[in-house]
Amino acid sequence: MPQDVTSITTAPALASLAGLFADETRAACLLALLDGRAWTAGELARHAGVAPSTASEHLGKLVAGGLLAEERQGRHRYVRLADAGIAQLVEDLAAHAAPGAPARPRTLRQSSAGAAMARGRTCYDHLAGRLGIRVTGAMTERGLLRQDTGFALTDDGLAWFGELGIELVRAGRRPLARGCLDWTERKPHLAGVAGAALCRHALDAGWCARIGSQRAVKVTPAGARAFAAHLGVTDL
């Protein structure tokens, strides 16, 4: 039986892509870069617990495979996720990789970090964790966002962003709004152009603050007041 042409052309590419994820060190680097920032090879080496030379080798493979983009400033080499599509792929794989209960933390530090990430974090450039789910739910309940036929901002939702002075600038093929499966809450949170714009505004306006160098974020007192006033969310 003749093979389908699509299968012939995409199977090697798919196998090659899967191979890039099939290493714990590379996976750790990709997950760290979901914070949306650029990291040095040394920072990623310390995060993954490997030698700098080992990290550089793995990062080279990820750059060559198109998952990471590389920037150089003087003697420093920075890498970041290539684009929002790659970030979505990493987050989706992380969600599907942990269908059951998460592994128990081995130290108090791991337990605290895991709890903070579950409460609120950035998923590349939008809010995730319980914070992201509560915001998404409140927007849906108030008629700002529809989830019945896929994620879409309503006219009221577009007006709501405008009232807050949040500009929604579409670039390329990135959708205005889309659902991203949250790997800790197992529910979709708001991503896309709108999710990124809201997250950026929350950080710039001081509604949320990053916790250390991790992706975890916390809601500030000003943020608690803002989320209550604009979305009626009071349990953050």
Q: Which helix (H) or strand (E) holds 87?
A: helix 84-97
pLDDT score of 66? 93
Q: What is the pTM of this model?
A: 0.71
What confidence score (pLDDT) does residue 173 get?
80
Cα–Cα distance for residue pair 66/68, rounded to 1 Å: 6
Pairing of strands 76-81, 68-73: antiparallel
Q: What is the pLDDT of residue 2?
A: 47
Task: Give the pLDDT of residue 213.
Answer: 58
At a CB cut-off of 8 Å and minimum separation 6, what does 201 contact? 164, 165, 166, 207
Contact between 125 and 196 (Cβ < 8 Å)? yes
What's the confidence (pLDDT) of residue 131? 95
Give phi and psi for 148, each to the nearest 5. Answer: -70, -30
Displacement of CA 185 from its chain's centroid (Å): 14
Dist. CA 230–CA 144, nearest whole Å: 11
pLDDT at residue 107, rounded to an integer: 53
Q: CA distances (Å), 206 to each of 108, 218, 221, 224, 231, in order?
A: 28, 10, 9, 10, 16
First vs last Cα of the chain: how many Å apart?
Answer: 58
The confidence score (pLDDT) of residue 168 equals: 94
With a cut of 50, which residues of the chain have pLDDT below it?
A: 1-3, 5-6, 101, 105, 108, 110-111
- The rounded distance, in Å, linking the Cα atoms of 24 and 99 is 18
Tell me which of 2.60.40.10, 3.40.47.10, 1.10.10.10, 2.40.30.10 is the CATH number of domain 5-82.
1.10.10.10
Do residues 122 and 182 touch, judged by C-beta distance below 8 A? no
CATH 1.10.10.10 domain locations along the chain = 5-82
Contact criterion met (CB below 8 Å) for 67 and 20: yes
